[in-house]
Amino acid sequence: MSDALADLDLVALADAIAAGDVTAEAATSSALEAATRHSALNAVVRLDPEGALEAARAADRRRAASGVSGPLHGVPLAHKDMFYRAGRVTGCGSIIRRDFVATTTSSLLERLDVAGAIEIGQLHMAEFAMGPTGHNAHLGRCGNPWNPAAISGGSSSGSGAAVGARIVAGALGSDTGGSVRLPAALCGVVGLKPTHGLLPQDGMMPLSESLDTAGPLARSSRSVARLLGVLTGGACDYEAALAQDLRGITIGRPTGYFAEDLDPPVATAFDDALRCLADLGARVVDVAFPDGEQYAEMAALVWAPEAAAQHLSWLRDRPGDYGPQVRNRLLHGLAIPAVHHVLARRLRGSHLAAVLAGPFSLCDVIATPAMRTVTPIASAVEADSGPAMDRVVGGLSALTRPVSYLGLPALVTPMGHDARGLPMGLQLIARPQDEQSLLTIGACFEAATRHLDRRPPSAP
Amino acid sequence: MTEPKTWLVEALGITALPGDEERLRLHWQADQALVTRALEAAGSDGAPSFFDRPQRLFDGLVRR
């Protein structure tokens, strides 16, 4: 986008279009230009300039004739390349689905359409949404807008990078073990993993039906709130319900697993974030979070067999069309005994009950860093198989996978930058269905810290 | 438990690649240990509601 438009977050851009200060065509042209200008980031896999501009002009005509059609009228967006639209290719970051033309449209895309959004293209992702770094054996690596040599995070790599680079003001990603939250943290934007089951999953590439959820990314919690309102079908106006301060809110700081082995810059930024939340009126208390490490490991027993079942016929017939890392992770899923998978799923209810009766009896929201480490440089985390791959994957998502296993909602928002200027993310975790608390805390924190005002060097 | 290569090649019809057997063997050992720990933590009768409709408990909690 041009400088002025790129500085607008999604809500500001939508409101400017609604007020007639900016046309949908100008916003869309600007986003398309930004996508081209940032092609070296490799965040976009497919652009639809003609279709997007035609839709934008139609939106401008509609607004002139009868006003805006919804809360995202004329706003250009782009989404992870795994949401189906009838008649269009959805490649899922793969060779195997490279030419797949969907026959149905995702309910989430339909809801964004009804709200007036314009889709300009589809975004980079890890092959079949399996990979937390932004590497893809077929598409190449997605760069980080703050430093192209750093990882973008994944699997919603293009969603994080495109929003971070200010190509678009909002994007859809998906999250099975951290795939919205990690790119949000690494690219310095806001990302929400909603409660499992809150959003429909039709027309969306399946990875693990027990853990998958779509999730929005944007450059403020207020913008994520607007997107979530649309994605839930308007059932709840999260944006209108944002509170102005944090009085009456108790935030838990977990001891044990979530506090262990933090890189010093992460630990410092996290302490600063908690102090800021306390200054905003929240009460911060220590809470014991039961066995996060076990939850993280149990998540693999849940998702890996479900993913392997999805891929069994292609593993037999087209083994050479997978990247080595993805094939090896699927192989693990094939080898997990059915009884172990069933046990991991069955124990989930008991574990969730224990977390609600334990730490969540003492607080409204639990705060953790999104990652234990600062952002890695890409060459440091290239691994295709074996224990090295397990360490990379396990290390990056150590603090996000337990949340996925438990089905809880979590928001990631920037909590500062390290000495290299790379962003670090704060993860906020709530009880089931309490996305509102996350968005309120995120919005208040962002207004106080202004981390989101800082632009990546690659932004216009 | 069967041998990794037998499981892959004969049971699943997958073409095994170099290193697959060892990877599977390590995963099996790790997963077995994890499940054993989880069951021990749940106790001999399982954690509350583990035995009785566990999926319903989870569904009820996330949709409340």
Active site residues of A: 80, 155, 179
Quote the DSSP letter at residue A377.
Answer: B
Please give the residue of chain B at the shortest CA–CA distance from A312.
Answer: B12
Give alpha helix (H) positions in A243-291: 264-279
CB contact under 8 A, A433 and B13: no
User: Among A4-18, A174-188, A374-388, whose mean pLDDT is lowest?
Assistant: A374-388
Compare A4 and A232 and report the one with higher pLDDT: A232
Pairing of strands A147-151, A143-144: antiparallel
Q: Which distant-in-sequence residues (6+ apart) come within 8 Å of B6 by Cβ?
A: none
User: Among A14-18, A90-94, A306-310, A348-352, whose mean pLDDT is lowest?
Assistant: A348-352
Q: What's the confidence (pLDDT) of residue A231? A: 98
Task: Name every chain A residue with its beta carbon within 8 A of the beta carbon of B14.
Answer: 315-316, 319, 331, 334
Please give the residue of chain B at the shortest CA–CA distance from A432.
Answer: B62
CB contact under 8 A, B35 and A197: no
Helices A24-37 and A10-19, interaxial angle, to 10°? Answer: 140
Do the domain assignments include residue A444? yes
CB contact under 8 A, A337 and B37: no
State what percent of residues in chain A have pLDDT above 70.
97
Q: Which distant-in-sequence residues (6+ apart) come within 8 Å of B39 by Cβ?
A: A343
Looking at residue A121, which CATH number applies to its domain?
A: 3.90.1300.10
Q: For residue A213, which phi and psi values (nearest 5 degrees)? A: -155, 145
What ipTM, to 2 d.p.?
0.77
pLDDT at A282 over 70: yes
- Give A383's pLDDT tier (boundaries 50, 70, 90): low
User: Among A240-244, A280-284, B19-23, B42-46, whose mean pLDDT is lowest?
Assistant: B42-46
pLDDT at B53 over 70: no
Number of Cβ within a 10 Å radius of residue A67: 9
Do the domain assignments include residue A338? yes
Do the domain assignments include residue A459? no
d(CA A414, CA A366): 16
Let me know: does A275 contact A381? Beta carbons within 8 Å: no
pLDDT tens per residue, range A152-195: 999 999 999 999 999 999 999 999 999 999 999 999 999 999 99
Looking at this protein, which amino acid is placed at residue A102?
Answer: A
Residue among A407, A425, A406, A421 at smallest CA distance from A367: A425
State what percent of residues in chain A have pLDDT above 90.
86
Let me know: does A92 contact A138? Beta carbons within 8 Å: no
What average pLDDT does the structure give for chain B? 77
Let me know: does A214 contact A204? Beta carbons within 8 Å: yes
- Give A307's pLDDT tier (boundaries 50, 70, 90): very high
Q: Could you give the angle at the alpha carbon of A429 between the alpha carbons of A113 and A350, nearest 5°?
A: 110
Let me know: does A249 contact A445? Beta carbons within 8 Å: no
Which helix (H) or strand (E) segment holds residue A329: the answer is: helix A324-335
Report helix, strand or coil for A211.
Answer: coil
Q: Could you give the angle at the alpha carbon of A212 between the alpha carbons of A206 and A218, nearest 5°?
A: 110
Q: What's the confidence (pLDDT) of residue A290? A: 85
Residues of B with CB under 8 A from a CB of A: 1, 4, 7-8, 12-15, 17, 19-20, 23-24, 26-28, 31-32, 34-35, 37-39, 41-42, 46-50, 54-59, 61-64
Report helix, strand or coil for A43.
Answer: coil
SS3 content of chain A, % helix, strand, coil (to 5): 45, 15, 40
Pairing of strands A250-255, A44-47: unpaired
Q: What's the confidence (pLDDT) of residue B51? A: 57
Closest CA–CA distance from residue B10 to any residue of chain A (Å)? 12
Residues of A with CB under 8 A from a CB of B: 195-197, 291, 294, 297-298, 301, 312, 315-316, 319, 328, 331-332, 334-337, 340, 343-354, 356, 385-387, 407, 432-433
* Structure-block tokens of residue B37: 């720990």
Q: Considering its fold, how many domains does chain A have in total? A: 1
Q: Is the dihedral of CA A394, A399, A402, A408 positive or negative?
A: negative
Do the domain assignments include residue A407? yes
Let me know: does A66 contact A48? Beta carbons within 8 Å: no
Let me know: does A378 contact A393? Beta carbons within 8 Å: no
CB contact under 8 A, B54 and A407: no
Number of Cβ within a 10 Å radius of residue B52: 9
Please give the residue of chain A at the shortest CA–CA distance from B29.
Answer: A336
pLDDT tens per residue, range A37-88: 999 999 999 999 999 999 999 999 999 999 999 999 999 999 999 999 999 9
Residue range of the domain that includes A427: 3-453
Do the domain assignments include residue A458? no
Q: What's the confidence (pLDDT) of residue B2? A: 75
Q: What's the confidence (pLDDT) of residue B47? A: 52
d(CA A202, CA A320): 29
Helices A24-37 and A49-66, interaxial angle, to 10°? Answer: 160
Q: Measured in whole angstroms, how far is the alpha carbon of residue A145 from the centre of its chain?
A: 16
CA distances from A91 to A44, A94, A122, A139, A182 (A): 12, 6, 9, 10, 22
Let me know: does A400 contact A178? Beta carbons within 8 Å: yes
Report helix, strand or coil for A148.
Answer: strand
d(CA A208, CA B3): 26
Pairing of strands A423-430, A410-417: antiparallel
d(CA A2, CA A179): 29
Residue among A91, A9, A102, A109 at smallest CA distance from A55: A109
